[in-house]
Amino acid sequence: MKDPGSSSLKGPDSLRLCNCFAVRQAARQVTRLYERHLAGAGLTSAQFSILAALGEAGAMTMSELPRALVMDRTTLLRALKPMQREALLRSGPGEADPRQLLYSLTPSGERRLKQAIPLWIRAQEEFEAAIGSREAAQLRRSLLGLARAH
């Protein structure tokens, strides 16, 4: 195993060897690709993820939603506010525990999600055309495994 102290950030390849740099660069490019497609539905990639998660689950509490999306609660709250202003989702007390805040899609949110899905499919197809379907599936498994491990 290579000594971690032997890595140098002074050489011309230092950023090319940095996992964090590579993942962040790729994440920015992938986000741009998806947002270019999702713009047709007036959504960001984060907003689409929120709508899709709620569309699958039906409703989620404020503790479940950030866990499912692997998002910081504060970041999630900032993303939810404009969606609530647009009436894409609603929040209210949970049935089992009225102290819990429960989020769900409104009919408008369901329509927007339905409008966005074909756009998301096109983004998926463009991504997979660029790197290959098999590679995309492997990358997805690896990244999701990493995200869920922490």
What is the chain's alpha carbon radius of gyration, rounded to the nearest angstrom? 19
Residues 6+ apart with CB under 8 A from 144: none
Q: What predicted TM-score, i.e. pTM, was given to this entire model? A: 0.85
Tens digits of per-residue pLDDT, 109-125? Answer: 999 999 999 999 999 99
Q: Determine how many CB atoms are found less than 10 A away from the CB of residue 79.
A: 16
| For residues 30-53, average pLDDT | 96
Give the residue extent of every domain in the chain.
43-149
Q: What pLDDT score does 60 carry?
A: 94
Domain 43-149, CATH? 1.10.10.10
- The mean pLDDT of the chain is 90
